[in-house]
Structures are given as C-alpha cells and as structure tokens.
Homo-oligomer: A and B are copies of this chain.
Amino acid sequence: MNTLAEENYLKAIYKLSLTAGNVSTNQIAAELATKASSVTDMVRKLAEKALVNYTRYQGVSLTKAGEKVALNIIRRHRLWEYFLVEKLHFKWDEVHDMAEEMEHISSTELIDRLDAFMGHPTRDPHGDPIPDCDGNFKVTELKPVSTVEINTAGVISGVRDHSASFLQYLERQQLTIGKHIIIKEVISYDNAVILEMENTQIQISRDVANNLLIAL
C-alpha cells in the first residue's frame, strides 16, 4: 500500500494542516527531523500518487485520498494508545513511541476488531478523538485554560503538548483528563493561572495554561 516513510509524511502533513493552510517544505522537514530537500522529493512522489496537492514553491496540502490515509494512521495510533493504557496499564506519557510503531500495522480487519474489543472508544488517553473506520470523528471545541474568562468552569479534556515531561507534570499535579476545574485568577505579573480543583487551589504557569485544554 504505502511505505512507512510515506505514511509518516502524510501524518505530518495532516498534523501541520490543522494550524496552517498550505504546509511548507521547511515545516514538514522540522516536523520529521529531516531536510527540506528530502521533503521536496517525497512530496513529489506523494503528488504522483494523488495523495497531496503540490506545485513548486507553493507548499503542500492533502487531497481527499491523502486525508483518508492520514486519518486511518491516526485512528490506528490512537486505538493502540488506548489499548496500551487501558489493557496493558502503561501511563499516558509512556505510550507515544510504541504507538508510533504499531500504527503502521496494516490490517484494517485487525484494527476494527481491536476497536470492538475495547468497546469503540472515542478518545485516546490524551483526550484526542479517535476517527472511526471512515475517518469521521466528532470535533468537540476545546479551549486552552489560558484563553477562558475568570470563574469559568470546565473539564480537562485534552493537551496541546504531548511530550512525556508535560504529561508527567500534569500527572503529578493530578491535572488529568476528566477532572473538573474552575479558573479563579490570572496573575497579571507573569500570567500564571490559579485554578480550583476538588476544593483546592492550584497555580499553573502561563505555559501550562496554554497547553492544557478544557471543555466548557
């Protein structure tokens, strides 16, 4: 079907497309820790397979077909993450690299049965939605804690930074998916945010508040 390298490019382009329109060669290179010249070559190849739209110097976007492939990879990644946490009891900061390998296992029958085995979960351990087998998923609007008004109540529902160190920090502060919080105050000096959770106050930095997402 598609090579491992091709799948990784499609996933990177999908991810970058969420925050930009056309994705630049350099952005992809940074995302994949490779060089812009390598990206140019691969993007040509993907364009020939009709998985991306590409014109020289104009950046890249996924075609419908390319998006479908990307969403399938993401589906597999997130289902395996769910499996690792729920069935094998890994912690949410430990599963990314393993899922990165497992997402390339190709059988769709396998993935559909895995999905059923786990009861068709809709979100992975980090709160990200799991696309169904047709690539559909519900888009719940989540907001960074740093962007909501004082006295807003919400439920921790996702993260923007998926790094192990950030997830470990959240774990230590008990700021995990599903917790109910209220934004109490923003310190004007450094934009630190004071939250209330389970009747205790927690202070988090501007950075943390930017990367912690809540559903209202």
Contacts and interface: CB of A to CB of B under 8 A. Distances in A.
Interface stretch (A50-58, A66-74, A100-108, A198-206): A100-108
Interface of A: 84, 87-90, 97-98, 101-102, 104-107, 110, 113-114, 117
A91 to B, nearest CB: 12
Given A84-B110, A90-B113, A98-B110, 6 more contacts: A87-B117, A88-B113, A97-B107, A101-B105, A102-B102, A102-B105
Contact of A89 (B88, B97, B106, B113): B113
A37 to B, nearest CB: 24
Oligomer: number of copies: 2
Nearest to A4: B4
Nearest to A112: B88
Contact of A106 (B88, B101, B107, B114): B101
Contacts of A101: 104-107
Contacts of A113: 88-90
A102 B102 CA distance: 8
Among A106, A107, A114, max chain B CB count under 10 A is at: A107
18 contacts: A84-B110, A87-B117, A88-B110, A88-B113, A88-B114, A88-B117, A89-B113, A90-B113, A97-B107, A98-B105, A98-B107, A98-B110, A101-B104, A101-B105, A101-B106, A101-B107, A102-B102, A102-B105
